[in-house]
């Protein structure tokens, strides 16, 4: 079947993996990547597929309603996968307005453009919104009687996994965002659901845990620390390093998005996560060990780079997603063990130092001019 799919934020970290998967897997689909190319958008993330006949790029701001409307019409879009967003919590603490503008008003602009273009004919249409587990707030670190975390649990999955608390985020967990970033994402989720309930637009929302893997902007923990270790720079650990995150390899998220886009139930919500909780400081030690080993350094060489710094304001203690609904209903599961995923990830950043150097020097911003401006 032929489809015309608009993927927003396709030049970012997760978006580039989703675009690559769709372009490679569905030669009959026309994939339109709409991205503003903010500091976080990098067309070099898509170098391997940029010449494919089923791939198109449009540089546009999702807040520019007229442009979005024109793009919907021009490409006869029947499916939207919406990833474009401001995504870094620390930036949202410094500049909340930008987050409200892009994440809330930008999402509304896309919804309204889709509603106008589809004009009540919902057959074969879908607006799929990519959200985060951060909208649910933060979980406690709690021990079952006498057991020090992490402990093994079967509470929320068919598999045993390590957990730092009794509770998990479920699809019906009450929203309770704490940062300007998560507040803006929560607001956008509400708008998406409101467009279903008010106008009947077919929508799906998914809430995913922390992603890791190639092409992540080096302001986020894992690529930042890999790059700093390589250059012998300090590793700024917020607070005591005791916060817990649930990590998922980015290609597993992209596979989940593909599955849910094609088989998910309209108006429903799915949580996506790795059942893979790590305390920051333990994760950081794994990264240090892996980078040192791959660089041929003796074990422990870079441990002295760990530097405890002032905690992030409002720092959520623990995130832990229960993704058993997605596993049960659509048969998805993470494909990689964490040790395997981290090894792949560290290798990728070490092997792609030019990509990292381009970003950290700002050179990647020139790539758009060279590749696209005069086409
Ligand atoms: P990212 O910051 O790497 O990429 C965001 C992309 O959106 C960039 O290419 C940027 O240029 C583009 N963009 C930003 N503002 C725009 C605008 N106004 N108009 C058009 N394009 C714009 O983000 P990411 O980490 O890949 O996250 C993608 C989505 O997934 C976001 O919606 C985020 O909230 C969500 N999410 C991320 C994670 C994670 O761990 N990274 C986890 C769960 C959900
Ligand atoms: O949970 C999903 C979310 O994961 C996404 O919605 C966000 O877009 C994404 O950025 C990510 O948010 P986090 O705040 O969890 O990711 P970050 O990589 O910024 O931080 C991970 C943990 O590491 C967090 O507890 C803060 C800590 N940290 C982070 C940085 C950048 C440090 O200790 N030092 C650092 O320098």
> Which of 136, 181, 249, 364 is flagged as catalytic?
181
Nearest ligand to the CA of 139 is 2
> Which of 134, 189, 251, 277 is flagged as catalytic?
134
CB 78 within 8 A of CB 31: no
Position 145 scores a pLDDT of 77
Q: Whose CA is nearest to atom 17 of ligand 1?
A: 61
| Helix-strand-coil split of the chain, %, nearest 5 | 45, 20, 35
State yes or no: is 238 an active-site residue. no
Q: What's the rounded Cα separation, in Å, for the pair 202 and 186? A: 19
| Cα(253) to centroid(ligand 1), Å | 14
What is the atom index within ligand 2 of the atom nearest the CA of 315? 25
Question: Residue 279 pairs with which residues in a beta bridge?
Answer: 244
C-alpha pair distances (Å), 320 with each of 147, 286, 290, 297, 340: 18, 20, 24, 34, 20
Read off the pTM.
Answer: 0.96
Position 23 scores a pLDDT of 98
What is the atom index within ligand 2 of the atom nearest the CA of 280? 23
Q: Is 287 in the pocket of ligand 2 (CB under 6 A)?
A: no
Q: Is 87 in the pocket of ligand 2 (CB under 6 A)?
A: yes
Q: Can you read off the two tokens belonging to residue 374?
A: 């005069």
What are the φ/ψ torsions at residue 277 (nearest 5 degrees)?
-85, 135
What is the atom index within ligand 2 of the atom nearest the CA of 132? 6
**3-state secondary structure at position 293:** helix
List the chain pLDDT tens, one digit each, 375 residues. Answer: 799 999 999 999 999 999 999 999 999 999 999 999 999 999 999 999 999 999 999 999 999 999 999 999 999 999 999 999 999 999 999 999 999 999 999 999 999 999 999 999 999 999 999 999 999 999 998 877 778 778 887 655 556 678 898 899 999 999 999 999 999 999 999 999 999 999 999 999 999 999 999 999 999 999 999 999 999 999 999 999 999 999 999 999 999 999 999 999 999 999 999 889 999 999 999 999 999 999 999 999 999 999 999 999 999 999 999 999 999 999 999 998 889 999 999 999 999 999 999 988 866 666 555 655 544
Nearest ligand to the CA of 59 is 1
State yes or no: is 370 an active-site residue. no
> Which of 133, 246, 277, 316 is flagged as catalytic?
133
Position 351 scores a pLDDT of 97
């Amino acid at each position: 079947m032929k489809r015309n799919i608009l993927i927003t934020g396709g030049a970012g970290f997760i978006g580039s993996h989703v675009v690559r998967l769709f372009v490679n897997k569905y030669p009959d689909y026309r994939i339109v990547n709409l991205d503003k190319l903010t500091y976080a958008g990098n067309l070099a993330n898509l170098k391997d597929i940029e010449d494919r006949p089923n791939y198109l790029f449009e540089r546009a701001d999702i807040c520019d309603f007229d442009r979005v409307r024109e793009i919907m019409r021009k490409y006869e879009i029947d499916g939207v996968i919406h990833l474009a967003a401001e995504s870094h919590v620390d930036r949202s603490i410094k500049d909340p307005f930008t987050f409200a503008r892009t994440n809330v008003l930008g999402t509304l602009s896309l919804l309204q453009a889709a509603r106008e273009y589809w004009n009540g004919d919902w057959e074969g249409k879908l607006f799929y919104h990519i959200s985060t587990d951060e909208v649910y707030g933060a979980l406690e670190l709690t021990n079952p009687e006498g057991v020090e975390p992490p402990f093994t649990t079967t509470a929320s999955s068919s598999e045993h996994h390590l957990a730092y608390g009794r509770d998990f985020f479920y699809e019906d967990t009450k929203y309770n965002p704490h940062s300007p970033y998560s507040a803006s994402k929560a607001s956008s989720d509400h708008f998406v659901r409101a467009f279903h309930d008010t106008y009947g637009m077919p929508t799906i929302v998914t809430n995913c845990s922390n992603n890791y893997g190639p092409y992540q902007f080096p302001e986020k923990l894992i690529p930042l620390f890999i790059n700093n270790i390589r250059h012998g720079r300090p590793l700024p650990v917020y607070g005591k390093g005791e916060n817990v995150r649930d990590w998922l390899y980015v290609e597993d998220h992209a596979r989940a998005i593909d599955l849910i886009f094609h088989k998910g139930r309209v108006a429903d919500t799915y949580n996506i996560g790795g059942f893979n909780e790590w305390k920051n400081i333990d994760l950081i030690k794994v990264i240090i060990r892996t980078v040192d080993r791959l660089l041929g350094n003796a074990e422990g060489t870079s441990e002295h780079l760990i530097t405890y710094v002032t905690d992030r304001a409002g720092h959520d203690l623990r995130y832990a997603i229960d993704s058993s609904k997605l596993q049960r209903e659509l048969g998805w599961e993470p494909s990689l063990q964490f040790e395997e995923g981290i090894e792949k990830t560290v290798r990728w950043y070490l092997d792609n130092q030019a990509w990292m150097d381009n970003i950290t020097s700002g050179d990647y911003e020139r790539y758009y001019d060279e590749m696209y401006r005069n086409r």
